[in-house]
């Protein structure tokens, strides 16, 4: 490749507050259109905004998790523009003095994507395009957002993908946002440029607005890369346009030519005070941040001896990892606990929402008890597995399901008599085995396992059966 790709991202994330940025209207998604609005978020004359303190707290939390410096004092500004989804004709945002500056997000490779700034602002309404008309839903007006701006540090689409997925996971994990791209609570503006390999100066960029899926972002970047390379090859220049990505064609198309900051006539928001966050408040917010995913993964691998794949699996959803943390704290073998969760509990849920909720009928205490029974050799792994199956269905504890007899090891005499019964009642399989079909023995082993409710050791059963048949 003769040309190098450069990408910078601006990511908008809706904060998980119950009420809006400057009024007490609900931020709930998918409410009936225009039912979650008031004079403040509609910008009616005479209304006054009041800052939602919790939104600031979440924004600070996001900044700390991304290694940013949080400003003790920052300012709200008006960004003026006219568009049907913005009834006030200005958006309250932060311009020259944002809340957070200078952080980074580290990729698996160790490469750090630098975060230029994070600022707080309010969302605009939503235009709903019908066949012959466009409707406006103002419910989203005034929903608190943060915008996370990176330096132009991405050189490949894979880096972009990893950054977006890691950011999404991190923000969900610390409770800043649900980051649902399909619902618009996470949206990315993608800035793309190309330059000749080996040259220093960045090429002219285009900006693709409002991308709502990682797959589309990747396609859009690839399309822009090719388009810009072709222009340069023809000795034409790239114009600094704002583009939209058209999903049906897989192409980008111009929305408008790039506006300058001065087009927005930024000025300080006169109806709000500055945003102040003291060092004590910053420290208190820092203390509320749970252990970050990357640190947890490290701990799972180093302290519990989990594989990297298993650690990553458990960490994917916060509730699941917290569930595992409890099991690990209460049981003698965290590794076994992890195996049960991944092997038998994950498969119960198929949708993302189900996995996020992780509503299982077995409490961590109850799973820990089962793990300990196994660790102490009171039951074997087959019985543990079938018991967990029952626990998940009935919600009963291991103690309720297992009889005293279950927990006593299967005696040699019991195994002996079970194997004899297996041979007597499976004459077909016995005949097959004698006729040279090695595999037929497994039918008999299966019988023994069923009858002993998983307590028999399959290997010993097999040996014993062979002895009897001989
Ligand atoms: P705005 O889009 O509001 O004008 P900036 O000029 O600060 O804001 O740039 C926004 C984003 O564009 C940043 O993420 C930045 O990294 C990225 N960017 C700037 N120049 C380039 C470039 N030449 N190629 C790719 N991305 C760029
Ligand atoms: Mg931009
Ligand atoms: Zn309102």
pTM of this prediction exceeds 0.85:
no
Q: What is the distance between the terminal CA atoms of the chain, rounded to a whole angstrom?
A: 70
Rounded to whole angstroms, the Cα distance separating 291 from 259 reads 41
* Predicted local distance difference test score (pLDDT) of residue 399: 87
What are the residue ranges spanned by the domains of the chain?
3-284, 290-407, 412-469
Question: Which pLDDT score is estimated for 1?
Answer: 74
Tell me the best of 81, 117, 164, 191 to mutate to test the pocket of ligand 1, counting ligand atoms within 8 Å of each CB and taking the most: 191
pLDDT, residue 151, reads 98
48-53-56-60 Cα dihedral, nearest 10 degrees: 160
Do the bridges between strand 73-74 and strand 241-246 make them parallel or antiparallel, or are there none, so unpaired?
unpaired
Q: Whose CA is nearest to atom 17 of ligand 1?
A: 8
Give long-range contacts, CB 8 A cutoff, 24+ apart: 258-263: 258/207, 261/95, 263/81
Count of CA atoms in the C-beta half-sphere (13 A) of 69 = 8
Q: Are 73 and 274 in contact (CB under 8 A)?
A: yes
CA of 23 to the centre of ligand 1 (A): 32
Q: What is the DSSP string of 211-243?
A: E--HHHHHHHHHHHHHHHHHHHHTT-----EEE
Stretches where the chain sits below pLDDT 50 are: none
Backbone angles phi, psi at 234, to 5 degrees: -85, 10
Candidates 2.60.120.380, 3.40.630.30, 3.30.830.10, 1.10.10.410; CATH matching 412-469: 1.10.10.410
Pairing outcome for strands 100-106 and 112-122: antiparallel
**Half-sphere exposure of 70 toward its Cβ, with a 13 Å CA cutoff?**
25
Contact 149 CB / ligand 1 (< 6 Å): yes
Q: Do 70 and 284 form a contact (C-beta atoms < 8 A)?
A: no
Q: CB count, 10 Å around CB of 267?
A: 12
- What is the 8-class DSSP label of residue 352? H
pLDDT score at 392:
94
pLDDT of residue 402: 85
How does strand 126-129 pair with strand 100-106? unpaired
Q: Which atom number of ligand 1 is nearest to the Cα of residue 260? A: 4
| Inter-axis angle of helices 412-425 and 458-469, nearest 10 | 60
Say if residues 211 and 188 touch (Cβ distance below 8 Å): yes
* Distance from residue 35's CA to the centre of ligand 3 (Å): 10
Q: What is the chain's length? A: 470
On whether the CB atoms of residues 123 and 145 are closer than 8 A, the answer is yes
The CB of 6 under 6 Å from ligand 1? The reply is yes
* Contacts for 298 with CB less than 8 Å, ≥ 6 apart: none
Question: Residue of the nearest CA to atom 3 in ligand 1?
Answer: 261
Residue from 4, 5, 8 to probe ligand 1 pocket by mutation (most atoms less than 8 Å from CB): 8
CB 53 within 8 A of CB 17: no
pLDDT tens for 215-225 read 999 999 999 99
Q: How far, in Å, is the centroid of ligand 1 from the Cα of 7?
A: 8
- Whose structure tokens read 């102490």? 376
CA of 59 relative to ligand 1 center, distance in Å: 22
**Contacts by 104-112, CB closer than 8 A, 24 or more apart:** 104/66, 104/67, 105/66, 105/67, 105/163, 105/166, 105/167, 105/170, 106/294, 107/159, 107/162, 107/163, 107/166, 108/162, 111/153, 111/159, 112/153
Structure tokens belonging to residue 430: 């016995």
């Amino acid at each position: 490749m003769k040309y190098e790709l450069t990408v910078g991202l601006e990511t908008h994330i809706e904060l998980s507050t119950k009420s809006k940025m400057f009024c007490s209207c609900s931020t709930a998604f998918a409410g009936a259109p225009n039912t979650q609005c008031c004079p403040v978020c509609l910008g009616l004359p005479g209304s006054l905004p009041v800052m939602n303190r919790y939104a600031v707290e979440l924004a600070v939390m996001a900044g700390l998790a991304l290694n940013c410096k949080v400003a003790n004092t920052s300012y709200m500004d008006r960004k003026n523009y006219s568009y049907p989804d913005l009834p006030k004709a200005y958006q309250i945002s932060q311009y020259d003095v944002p809340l957070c500056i200078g952080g980074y997000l580290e990729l698996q490779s160790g490469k750090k994507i630098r975060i230029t700034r994070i600022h707080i602002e309010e969302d605009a309404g939503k235009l709903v395009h019908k066949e012959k008309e466009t409707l406006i839903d103002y419910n989203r007006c005034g929903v608190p957002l943060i915008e996370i701006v990176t330096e132009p540090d991405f050189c490949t689409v894979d880096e972009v993908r990893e950054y977006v997925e890691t950011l999404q996971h991190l923000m969900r994990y610390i409770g800043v946002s649900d980051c649902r791209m399909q619902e618009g609570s996470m949206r990315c503006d993608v800035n793309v440029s190309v330059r000749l390999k080996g040259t220093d100066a960045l090429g002219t960029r285009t900006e693709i607005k409002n991308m709502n899926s990682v797959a589309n972002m990747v396609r859009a970047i690839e399309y822009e890369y090719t388009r810009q390379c072709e222009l340069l090859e023809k000795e034409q220049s790239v114009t600094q346009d704002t583009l939209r990505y058209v999903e049906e064609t897989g192409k980008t198309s111009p929305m408008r030519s790039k506006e300058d900051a001065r087009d927005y006539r930024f000025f300080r928001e006169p109806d709000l005070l500055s945003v102040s966050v003291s060092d004590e408040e910053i420290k208190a917010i820092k203390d509320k941040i749970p252990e970050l995913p990357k640190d947890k993964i490290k701990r799972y691998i180093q302290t519990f001896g989990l594989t990297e794949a298993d650690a990553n699996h458990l960490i994917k959803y916060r509730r699941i990892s917290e569930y595992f943390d409890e099991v690990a704290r209460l049981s003698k073998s965290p590794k076994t606990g992890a195996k049960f969760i991944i092997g038998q509990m994950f498969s119960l849920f198929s949708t993302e929402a189900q996995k996020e909720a992780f509503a299982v009928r077995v409490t961590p205490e109850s799973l820990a008890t089962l793990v300990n029974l196994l660790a102490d050799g009171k039951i074997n792994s087959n019985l543990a597995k079938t018991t967990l199956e029952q626990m998940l269905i009935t919600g009963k504890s291991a103690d309720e399901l297992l009889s005293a007899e279950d927990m006593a090891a299967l005696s040699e005499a019991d195994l002996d008599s079970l194997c004899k019964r297996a041979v007597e009642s499976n004459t077909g399989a016995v005949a097959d085995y004698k006729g040279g079909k090695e595999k037929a023995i497994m039918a008999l082993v299966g019988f023994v396992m069923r009858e002993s409710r998983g307590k028999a050791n399959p290997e010993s059963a097999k040996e014993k059966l062979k002895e009897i048949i001989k």
